[in-house]
């Protein structure tokens, strides 16, 4: 465990600075929250006094021991001195509750520097400032400065939540506590002056009481480290992230297709998938997803049996399952004839035993129980979603049977139920028994998708030998260009060819003049050749589909008139196949990233692309292609024959090319790449070095 974090999250003794007898004061609330725990709790206040029958000490030196943890509830201006005293006494963990530091301006930043100075060179670790606090229900460790009347506390559970913002997850904690959702630990990062999300991820990865980890972040303390930790942890323990601040309002201007298709959040999404991290978009989805992953079984399939007591409910949930536009990886199961026969035998005569099953409002508890038992034996069913509307006669026995099948059944059970008091009481019982239950049909169906995606991730990372195909590409073949030297298209392609990437046959015409015949067959394309021009088409600097020598001579004459003394490039024309774009971009958060998607002139219209952080391995490249909405085009859709494996190899080689030029490349476009049955050919290539801005090369449009 990291130094100081065990004292923060599992202390034997706690001291509260600012402890007070006055109700409503943060020091009073925190001290009261710690009552009943096994920890020894001390209070400090220069005024002295008593608190809940114990003396309040005036000075830290008066304490009978050196506490493991100090919680400082003092105003911001008094906090640095208190932190210095804690560090001097050897206290290993300090929580600074107060705001008024770096988040409020220059004066606050000065105070923050004083906090840094106070712990510099000591073994003291600091959480905050400006933090909601820490909550570990299993230990009754509760340093949250809000009283339970203002923020309900969840009971013990097996999920950890790390949040950069208190308000970002307060609603989820409150409603989770209302429904009985358990919590392993909550940590409010605050301003992250010292302890950050990366250290906490490593801590909870080793914590046997935690089964899944959720985070709310507005920025990354160290994005590279976050990625590496997640990639190491997610095969063993799921991670879910809400990344706030997704809008592109602050995006920089971009020059190439790769840049315009990127956007920081798009790159972030791809990198998170690469690391096996689930993404949520609000606090409710965060809590749902992390508890699904903590409790559910990774699914071998996604075939859903829906069990209801009313036709309308079944139709609605079937619509959710089958609505592919929602991106849900689920489908309605087709029952075996024997399953339908057994259901018909035990149900009322007017029940519907096809999927979704409608047992009708006349169904008894025993009928529900029998249906759940019958569905366990159908090989076409992976998940059962009972949709329950409770009434008093059903409550206790039906809840008991749902808990039984949730714990003992061979199929994953996900309960959807809606209602008021009776429903909430049943949900709390099922939560306590570890059953996945949701007050929403949609959220229950979403749980199927989450568990299937988790299983797919685990299957994929176990698919390749650990020390062969899963390694990043380390291709040494081929030179790399000297950074900063502008490269014409044919020069970029030369470096690509040396790495085994196919490009069309071509010839450079100095001054645009052809002497003799071109050394390859027609049709050909003629392009303006200039390292300073990015978009040749806008300058009428590209002519396609030149079919013979006579036509070529005429085109060259016109091009020489338009671009006097400029070099021209003649290339053999590639056509057919699927047009792909591959690019590199320096992302402001995760650094050099690679993109792949549907390319050509309509790349920005389709916006069908996937991103990963460089370097990538074969698994990453394969995942990028599978992520595309048009992935069927790469898998033989309607007889389409393309070299998918060749595209994976190309991605690995481009990743390696970028890795060797890390820190120098701003953007790179290979667009289009013509993907055919037997080859992948880069037709156009552009590269922008960092701090270089290219345009028209002084040529007028």
480 in any annotated domain: no
Are the C-beta atoms of 160 and 184 separated by less than 8 Å? yes
Identify whether residues 184 and 321 lie together within a single domain.
no
Is the CB of residue 659 less than 8 Å from the CB of residue 502?
A: no
Q: What 3-state DSSP class applies to 97?
A: coil
Determine, yes or no, domain membership for 469.
no
Among residues 295, 324, 353, which one ends one of the domains?
Answer: 295
Of residues 419 and 365, more confidently modeled: 365
* 217-226 per-position pLDDT tens digit: 999 999 999 9
- With tokens 């209801």, the residue in question is 308
* 495 within some domain: no
> What does the pLDDT read at residue 696?
46
Q: What is the pLDDT of residue 264?
A: 72
Q: Which residue has the tokens 């209070």?
A: 43
Cβ count within 10 A of residue 423: 18
**Residue 469: its pLDDT value, please?**
42
pLDDT at 261: 58
Q: Is the pLDDT of residue 699 over 60?
A: no
Residue 435 is encoded by which pair of tokens?
Answer: 């059953």
Which residue matches tokens 């230990």?
A: 139
pLDDT averaged over every residue in the chain = 90
CATH number at residue 122: 3.40.50.720
Average pLDDT over every residue of 375-393: 89
- Block residue for tokens 């390292």: 531
pLDDT value of position 249: 45
How do residues 469-478 score in pLDDT, each as one tens digit?
445 555 556 6
Q: 397 and 431: one domain?
A: yes
Among 99, 134, 169, the domain boundary falls at 134
The answer on 443 and 398 residing in a single domain is yes
> Are both 185 and 207 inside the same structural domain?
yes
In terms of domains, do 291 and 162 share one? Answer: yes
> Lowest-confidence range among 82-91, 201-210, 320-329, 582-591?
320-329
The pLDDT of residue 464 is above 50:
no
Within this chain, do residues 89 and 180 fall inside the same structural domain, yes or no?
no
In the numeric block, which tokens belong to residue 616? 């990538």
The string of pLDDT tens digits covering residues 603-638 is 888 889 999 999 999 999 999 999 999 888 888 777
Percent of the chain surpassing pLDDT 70: 92
Do the domain assignments include residue 551? Answer: yes
Residue 230: inside a domain: yes
Question: Residues 549-558: what's their mean pLDDT?
Answer: 96
CATH number of the domain encompassing residue 390: 3.40.50.261
604-635 burial, b at 16+ Cβ within 10 Å, e below that, comes to: eebebbbbbbbbbbbbbbbbbbebbeebebbe
pLDDT at 257: 53
- Asked if residue 587 and residue 561 are part of one domain, the reply reads no
Domain co-membership, 120 together with 167: no
Q: Is 480 exposed, middle or buried (0-12, 13-18, 19+ CB in 10 A)?
A: middle
| Structural domain ending residue among the three candidates 540, 572, 604 | 572
Q: Per-residue pLDDT for 502 more than 60?
A: yes
Q: Considering all CA atoms of the chain, what is the largest pairwise distance in Å, rounded to the nearest integer?
A: 103
Least confident of 231-240, 414-423, 432-441, 517-526: 414-423
The CA distance from 390 to 325, in Å, is: 31
Query: Which range marks the domain in which residue 407 is found?
Result: 303-461
Shared domain check, 350 and 406: yes
The whole model's pTM is what? 0.91
Specify if 500 maps to a domain.
no
Residues 535 and 643 in one domain: no
Rounded to 5 degrees, φ, ψ at 371 are -60, -40
- Residues 590-601 pLDDT 10s: 999 999 999 987
Residue 454 scores a pLDDT above 60: yes
Calpha distance 241→653 (Å, rounded): 31
The structure tokens listed for 632 are 């069927």
Strands 54-57 and 69-72 come out as unpaired
> Does 108 map to a domain?
yes
315 and 444 assigned to the same domain: yes
What Rg, from alpha-carbon coordinates, does the chain have? 31
What gap in Å lies between CA 306 and CA 436, rounded to an integer? Answer: 15
* Domain identity same for 683 and 630: yes
Q: Residue 38 in contact with residue 100, Cβ under 8 Å?
A: no
Q: Which of 363-372, 459-468, 550-559, 620-629 is least confident? A: 459-468
Q: How confident is the model at residue 466 (pLDDT cuts 50, 70, 90)?
A: very low
Give the strand pairing for 436-438 and 412-417. parallel
Q: Which two tokens stand for residue 591?
A: 């650094």
- On whether residue 315 sits in a domain, the answer given is yes
The count of domains in the chain is 5
Distance between CA atoms of residues 367 and 354, nearest Å: 15
Q: Which two tokens stand for residue 244?
A: 């706030």
């Amino acid at each position: 465990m990291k130094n100081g974090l065990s004292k923060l999250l599992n202390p034997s003794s706690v001291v509260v600075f600012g402890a007070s007898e006055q109700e409503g004061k943060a020091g009073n609330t925190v001290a009261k929250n710690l009552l009943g725990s096994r920890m020894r709790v001390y209070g400090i206040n220069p005024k002295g006094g008593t608190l809940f029958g114990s003396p309040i000490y005036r000075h830290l030196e008066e304490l009978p021991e050196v506490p493991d943890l100090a919680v400082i509830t003092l105003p911001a201006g008094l906090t640095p001195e208190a932190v210095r005293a804690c560090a001097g006494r050897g206290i290993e963990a300090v929580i600074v509750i107060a705001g008024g530091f770096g988040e409020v301006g220059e004066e606050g930043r000065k105070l923050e520097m004083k906090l840094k100075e106070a712990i510099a060179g000591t073994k003291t670790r600091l959480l905050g400032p400006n933090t909601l606090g820490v909550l570990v229900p299993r230990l009754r460790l509760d340093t949250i400065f809000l009283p339970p009347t203002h923020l309900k506390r969840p009971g013990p559970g097996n999920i950890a939540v790390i949040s950069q913002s208190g308000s970002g997850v307060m609603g989820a904690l409150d409603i989770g506590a209302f429904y009985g959702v358990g919590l392993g630990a909550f940590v409010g990062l605050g301003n992250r002056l010292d302890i950050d999300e990366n250290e906490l991820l490593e801590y909870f990865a080793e914590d046997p009481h935690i089964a899944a980890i959720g985070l709310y972040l507005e920025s990354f303390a160290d994005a590279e480290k976050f990625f590496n930790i997640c990639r190491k942890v997610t095969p063993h323990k799921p991670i879910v992230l809400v990344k706030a601040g997704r809008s592109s309002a602050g995006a920089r201007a971009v020059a190439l297709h790769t840049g315009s298709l990127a956007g920081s959040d798009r790159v972030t999404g791809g990198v998170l998938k690469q690391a096996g991290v689930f993404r949520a978009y609000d606090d409710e989805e965060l809590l749902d997803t992390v508890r699904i992953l903590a409790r559910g079984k990774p699914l071998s399939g996604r075939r859903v049996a829906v069990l209801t007591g009313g036709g309308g409910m079944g139709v609605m949930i079937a619509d959710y399952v089958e609505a592919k536009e929602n991106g849900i990886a689920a489908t309605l199961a087709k029952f075996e004839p024997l399953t339908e026969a057994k259901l018909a035998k035990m149900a009322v005569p007017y029940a519907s035993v096809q999927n979704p099953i409608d047992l009708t409002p006349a169904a008894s508890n025993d009928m529900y129980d029998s249906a759940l038992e019958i569905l366990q034996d159908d090989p076409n069913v992976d998940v059962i979603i009972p949709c329950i509307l409770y009434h008093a006669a059903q409550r206790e026995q039906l809840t008991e049977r749902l808990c039984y099948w949730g714990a003992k059944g061979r199929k994953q059970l996900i309960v959807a139920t809606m209602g008021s008091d009776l429903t909430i009481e049943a949900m709390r019982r099922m939560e306590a028994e570890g059953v996945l239950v949701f007050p929403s049909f949609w959220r229950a169906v979403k749980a199927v998708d989450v568990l299937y995606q988790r299983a797919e991730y685990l299957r994929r990372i176990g698919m390749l030998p650990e020390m062969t195909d899963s390694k990043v590409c380390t291709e040494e073949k081929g030179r790399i260009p000297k950074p900063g030297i502008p490269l014409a298209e044919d020069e970029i392609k030369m470096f690509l060819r040396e790495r085994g990437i196919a490009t069309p046959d071509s010839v450079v015409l100095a001054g645009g003049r052809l002497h003799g015949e071109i050394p390859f067959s027609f049709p050909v394309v003629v392009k303006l050749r200039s390292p300073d021009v990015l978009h040749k088409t806008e300058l009428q600097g590209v002519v396609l589909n030149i079919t013979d020598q006579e036509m070529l001579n005429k085109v060259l004459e016109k091009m020489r008139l338009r671009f006097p003394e400029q070099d021209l490039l003649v290339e053999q024309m590639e056509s057919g196949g699927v047009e792909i774009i591959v690019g590199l971009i320096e992302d402001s958060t995760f650094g050099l990233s690679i993109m792949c998607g549907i390319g050509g002139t309509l790349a920005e219209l389709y916006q069908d692309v996937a991103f990963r952080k460089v370097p990538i391995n074969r698994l990453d490249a394969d995942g990028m292609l599978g992520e595309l909405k048009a992935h069927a085009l790469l898998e033989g859709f309607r007889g389409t024959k393309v070299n998918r494996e060749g595209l994976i190899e190309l991605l690995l080689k481009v990743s390696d090319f970028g890795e060797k030029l890390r820190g120098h490349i701003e953007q790179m476009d290979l667009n289009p790449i013509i993907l055919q049955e037997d080859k992948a050919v880069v037709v156009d290539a552009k590269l922008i070095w960092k701090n270089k801005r290219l345009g028209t090369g002084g040529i007028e449009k």
